Amino acid sequence: MSQIALPLDWPADETDADFLVSASNAAAVRHLEHVGTWPVWATVLTGPRKSGRSLLGRIFALKSKGTLIDNAEEQSEERIFHAWNAAQEIRKPLLIVTDRTPGDWRPRLADLRSRLAATPIIRLEDPDDGLIDMLIEKQLGTRGIVTTPEFRAFVVARIERSFIAVLRFVDLIDQAALARRRRINITLARQVLAEMGVIDESHSSG
């Protein structure tokens, strides 16, 4: 798989890398591409930490000229309530980004709960193999490090399926390469994964 940006020439974020699309998040992207099919002019977006929720939300708001409310649990419930109503009135989409779904979040404002109950919820799933491969390539590439498919396949086969784990691995292998003055390769990846507790230290040479 190769790195791809969002379809329909969606604009790249002004500071972040393009949002990477794989089977694990493609359904959410498709939903955001087809605002006209939404039952209401609002959607809730959730997903794991570091999954690109905020980046996807900003790109969507730029493309659709809609409204983005990020970190919704930390925002005023009245603000979200009025934004939801306004979206229906002006017929421009509202995207609400949360750590948790409204069922887990449980807003105190009853009128907001009723509106969120009618609002579609889309989720960015934990990264699949293809997305992990792309993330490693992208994250190390931004540091000027070119990786081989064989290197990435070795890591993908062993690393935990989480965005946090992938980003931690990238940080650790970059630091290890600098500290040990080593090239980033499978041997170093094996050592870093062993240090992370992902593989047994006794396998570090095999």
Q: Is the pLDDT of residue 86 over 90?
A: yes
pLDDT in tens, 154-205: 999 999 999 999 999 999 999 999 998 889 999 999 999 999 988 765 444 4
pLDDT in tens, 19-36: 899 999 999 999 999 999
Residue 19 lies in a domain: no
CATH number at residue 60: 3.40.50.300
- Residue 175 in tokens: 């630091």
- DSSP secondary structure letter of residue 175: H
- What is the residue range of 77's domain? 26-123
Residue 137: burial class (beta carbons within 10 Å; 0-12, 13-18, 19+)? buried
| Same structural domain, 54 and 40 | yes
* pLDDT score, position 14: 45
Residue 10 lies in a domain: no
| Same structural domain, 92 and 141 | no
How many structural domains is the chain composed of? 2
pLDDT band at 51 (very low <50, low <70, confident <90, very high): very high
* pLDDT score, position 200: 60
| Same structural domain, 114 and 141 | no
Residue 6 lies in a domain: no
pLDDT in tens, 112-166: 999 999 999 999 999 999 999 999 999 999 889 999 999 999 999 999 999 999 9
Q: Which residue has the higher pLDDT, 115 or 106?
A: 115
| Same structural domain, 33 and 115 | yes
DSSP tally for the chain: helices H, then strands E: 9, 4
CATH number at residue 134: 1.10.8.60
84, 108, 123 - which closes a domain: 123
80, 98, 123 - which closes a domain: 123
Residue 58 lies in a domain: yes
Of 3-7, 25-29, 36-40, 98-102, the one with minimum mean pLDDT is: 3-7
